[in-house]
Amino acid sequence: MIRIAYENELKELKLETIRMSAACEGMIRRSIDALVNRNHAEAQAVIESDKEVDEYERAIEKKCLRLFLRQQPVAKDFREVSAILKMITDLERIGDQAADISEIMLSIDKDEKYIKKLVHIPKMAENAIGMMHESMTSFINEDLEQAKRVIDADDEVDELFRVVREELVELIKKNADNAEQAIYLMMIAKYLERIADHATNIAEWVIFCATGQKP
How many CB atoms lie under 10 A from the CB of residue 92? Answer: 21
The confidence score (pLDDT) of residue 107 equals: 95
| Measured distance CA(114)–CA(30) in Å, rounded | 19
The predicted structure's pLDDT at residue 195: 98
CATH classification (class only), 2-211: mainly alpha
Q: Are 172 and 178 in contact (CB under 8 A)?
A: yes
- The model's pTM is 0.93
pLDDT of residue 77: 75
CB crowding 137-154: b at 16 or more within 10 Å, else e:
bbbeeeebebbbebbebb
- Work out the angle at residue 3's Cα, subtended by the Cα atoms of residues 215 and 7, and round it to the nearest 5 degrees: 55
- According to the model, what pLDDT value does residue 191 have? 98
Positions of the chain with pLDDT lower than 50, given as ranges:
1
Q: What is the 8-class DSSP label of residue 176?
A: G
Contact 183, 108 (CB under 8 A): no
Report the alpha-carbon distance of residue 128 to residue 138 in Å, rounded: 15
Question: Are 47 and 95 in contact, with CB atoms under 8 Å apart?
Answer: no
